[in-house]
Amino acid sequence: MTAGAVRGLSMPVLRFNGVFLLLLLFGLSLGTSPSFSVDYKNNCFRKDGEQFRYISGSIHYSRIPRAYWKDRLLKMYMAGLNAIQTYVPWNYHEESPGQYDFSGDRDVQYFLKLTQEIGLFVILRPGPYICAEWDMGGLPSWLLNKKNIVLRSSDADYIAAVDKWMGKLLPMMKPYLYQNGGPIITVQVENEYGSYFACDYNYMRHLTKLFRAHLGDEVVLFTTDGAGVNYLKCGSIQDLYATVDFGPGANITAAFEAQRHAEPYGPLVNSEFYTGWLDHWGSRHSVVSSALVAKSLSRMLAVEANVNL
């Protein structure tokens, strides 16, 4: 990623006089380290000082054999996306307590290396809950060995398991943060927590502290919730940038107004723009009109929103 920054700067440099060139090279060699942040003043993301907007696509490495990862990522790049978004399913990596598997199709670090090689940024969603994308939101079934466990809450046994898992996963992710020379620009905490009954702020505070402890103070942490003020009430919390999700049928103005309720300033973000929808067994296959997707997408782009398809 630093290569990109250097390339971007070196073109105009050639046209300047020698002193300027030296000053710039000096500045570069001092290593203004890679940075990625929320710019609350200009309502955008900022990457290495430059305004930045992502148009991203979801891809789940856990659904694709490793041999196809590069092919799929390359196709996403060729489709014009500049970032990908992926979940990390807890149950996929810790099938039994304390038995971690990051080999073969589970080698998420290799997946991150490939995305960087291809030139895509990464929006990482390590959960611990990952919604309907897997049974029980990707939480390992062994958590249910404790009969009265309250998942996604301050339940002591749940928290102990989360701490242990994140203590394994997040240090592995840290070298892949943009600030550390990797492709990960933002990291999501939990998922659509505002849709869950518990509304346990202490749980969200705990996760925030846990993610910060492992990943540092610089990385942009965020939440995603349905585009309604009611969802954002229990889903958003201080220090996590609040984003929303909605499909092509939504009223974009109203949806982003909901985000603005939680985040008066900063970039507009639709973290899940539904180009399709899930199928229920026995029901008709869900299809979304591509014309509607294109229309809705271009409206979001017109208001300078960031979007993940």
Ligand X SMILES: *[C@@H]1O[C@H](CO)[C@@H](O)[C@H](O)[C@H]1NC(C)=O
253 counts as binding ligand X under rule CB under 6 A: yes
Among the candidate windows 67-75, 97-105, 169-177, 250-258, which touches ligand X by CB under 6 A?
Answer: 250-258
Write the binding mask 48 to 87 for ligand X: x where contact by CB under 6 A, - elsewhere. Answer: ----------------------------------------
Binder of ligand X out of 71, 117, 257, 304 (CB under 6 A): 257
Of the candidates 239, 233, 242, the residue with the CA atom closest to the CA atom of residue 268: 242
Binder of ligand X out of 33, 141, 251, 290 (CB under 6 A): 251
* Residues 6+ positions from 135 with CB-CB distance below 8 Å: 91
173 vs 300, beta carbon nearer ligand X: 300
Q: How far is the CB of 293 from ligand X (least distance, A)?
A: 18
Count residues binding ligand X (CB under 6 A).
4
190 is catalytic: no
Among the candidate windows 61-69, 100-108, 251-259, 271-279, which touches ligand X by CB under 6 A?
Answer: 251-259
Distance in angstroms (rounded) separating the CA atoms of residues 90 and 158: 13
84 vs 227, beta carbon nearer ligand X: 227
Distance in angstroms (rounded) separating the CA atoms of residues 199 and 234: 5
Torsion sign across C-alpha atoms 167, 173, 178, 184? negative
The count of other CB atoms within 10 Å of the CB of residue 179 is: 18
Distance in angstroms (rounded) separating the CA atoms of residues 24 and 300: 37
Q: How far is the CB of 262 from ligand X (least distance, A)?
A: 16
95 is catalytic: no
The count of other CB atoms within 10 Å of the CB of residue 4 is: 12
What is the signed CA dihedral for 281, 278, 133, 142, rounded to 10 degrees? -20
Among the candidate windows 249-257, 258-266, 271-279, 291-299, which touches ligand X by CB under 6 A?
Answer: 249-257
254 counts as binding ligand X under rule CB under 6 A: yes
Distance in angstroms (rounded) separating the CA atoms of residues 223 and 259: 11
Structural contact between residues 270 and 55, judged by C-beta atoms closer than 8 angstroms: no
Q: How far is the CB of 252 from ligand X (least distance, A)?
A: 8
Among the candidate windows 156-164, 172-180, 198-206, 247-255, which touches ligand X by CB under 6 A?
Answer: 247-255
Cα–chain center distance at 179:
15
- Which residues are part of the catalytic machinery? 192, 272
Residues that bind ligand X (CB under 6 A): 251, 253-254, 257
